[in-house]
Amino acid sequence: MIVKANGIQIHYEISGKKEGPVVVLSHSLSASLHMWDPQMAALEPRFQVLRYDTRGHGGTEVTRGAYSLEMLGEDAIGLLDALRIDTVHWIGLSMGGMIGQCLALNHARRLRSLALCDTGSVVPEESQPLWDERIAAARNQGMAALVEATMERWFTPSFWQKKSPMAVQIREQFLATSPQGYIGCAEAIRRVNYLNRLAEIKIATLIVVGEDDQGTPVAASQAMNERIQGSKLVVLPSARHLSNVEQPEAFNAALLQFLQSL
């Protein structure tokens, strides 16, 4: 379904328990709402599940220029307003976790809880040249120039070699992403700088990370855990960046245990 929010057309899907609490799922850079397929069977019997495509991704409108996390956060609030949803449990992975931090800091009243998965709160200065290279590759050569290195970062070799249907689908989603949408969101990600504000977050928070995540390593999750009072950290063995895809059973168990404890 499509709705106009914050000046753009946003693609979303809503499913699950009609009168249940609303859970929002926010995906990573160069993915789509289908990244969350492995979580649906676990969440839908208990919650109303809202998935959406971030600006520049999937079926959501692509706009030109650099995006900011604040812009992406306002997109999410606009979507909730358009659907007349007041408060939600926010589950975000990678970029989705950064958007979640933005909302927790700027729209705390709208969140009932926060799950920050395989994400970070700051991009160090030494990583900026990497983002320059990725943005230049997307602009000049398209997404195919980035796909193989990205799959290596997202999945352990043993998982990727199995070529499961979900892993193949993730690769196809990556290739289908608009280069302009990728670049816009990459510009937002590279400027994330919430680490020194995390102590302001008073919402119940779960932090999940794959043990072998290279893009947002365990140390980044530990730094968030130390700063968000009362937060819980879960490290999933045998998983890289897309831990929800690589270890869905363990990921879902951690998520449900957290949500049901609230």
Say what the pTM is. 0.98
At 87 the pLDDT is 98
15: domain range? 2-261
Q: What average pLDDT does the chain have?
A: 98
At 121 the pLDDT is 98
**Hey, how many other C-beta atoms are within 10 angstroms of the C-beta on 193?**
11
At 192 the pLDDT is 97
Q: What is the DSSP letter of 216?
A: S
**DSSP readout, 120-151?**
-SB--GGGHHHHHHHHHHHHHH-THHHHHHHH
- The CATH number of residue 94's host domain is 3.40.50.1820
At 260 the pLDDT is 96
At 212 the pLDDT is 98
Q: Which residues contact 102 (CB under 8 A, 6 or more apart)?
A: 69, 70, 72, 73, 194
Cα separations in angstroms, 167 against 31, 38, 198, 209, 261: 12, 11, 33, 18, 31
Give the pLDDT confidence of 191-221 residue by residue, as tens digits.
999 999 999 999 999 999 999 999 999 999 9
Q: Which residues contact 66 (CB under 8 A, 6 or more apart)?
A: 183, 184, 187, 188
Give the pLDDT confidence of 5-43 residue by residue, as tens digits.
999 999 999 999 999 999 999 999 999 999 999 999 999
What's the whole-number mean pLDDT along residues 105-109? 98
| Total number of domains constituting the chain | 1
At 14 the pLDDT is 98
At 6 the pLDDT is 98
Instruction: Answer for the pair 6, 70: CB distance below 8 angstroms, yes or no.
Output: no
**DSSP readout, 107-120?**
-GGGEEEEEEES--
Instruction: Answer for the pair 76, 69: CB distance below 8 angstroms, yes or no.
Output: no
